[in-house]
């Protein structure tokens, strides 16, 4: 079985912890931290060479949230209404819980 690190041995690869999405659902700092550690363990279990790959936490980079704000300002409702995930959230009655 080819490991992920072998397949991309000459590439520069950045992996991130998708934990900022959890801020809207989970308000327990310790649980968020543990979930992030679990993702790192999952990356390692999938064959990611933790010494070669850059794994970053978007929550530690202010520009990540700032760019999200810019994209939110540029995204119009017509675009949102074509997105499956947005329509699904509306169907589940989560209109007040979601934003662009």
Domain boundary assignment for the chain:
1-59, 61-100
Q: What pLDDT, on a 0 to 100 scale, did the predictor assign at position 19? A: 78
pTM for the whole structure: 0.56
Decide the pairing of beta strands 54-56 and 14-16. Answer: parallel
* Distance set, CA 18 to CA 2, 14, 35, 86 (Å): 25, 12, 10, 19
Count CB-CB contacts under 10 A for residue 71.
10
Total residues found in the chain within this entry: 100
Question: Residue 51: its pLDDT value, please?
Answer: 79
Contact 100, 75 (CB under 8 A): yes
Give percent of the chain with pLDDT exceeding 70: 86
- pLDDT (mean) for 41-53: 85
Q: Where are the beta strands (DSSP E) in 6-100?
A: 14-16, 54-56
């Amino acid at each position: 079985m080819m490991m992920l690190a072998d397949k991309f041995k000459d590439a520069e690869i950045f992996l991130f912890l998708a934990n900022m999405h959890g801020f809207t659902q989970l308000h327990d700092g310790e649980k968020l931290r543990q979930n992030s550690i679990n993702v790192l363990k999952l990356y390692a279990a999938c064959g990611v060479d933790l010494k070669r790959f850059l794994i970053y936490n978007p929550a530690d980079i202010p520009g990540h949230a700032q760019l999200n704000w810019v994209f939110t300002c540029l995204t119009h409702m017509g675009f949102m209404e074509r997105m499956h995930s947005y329509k699904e959230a509306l169907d589940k009655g989560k209109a007040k819980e979601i934003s662009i």
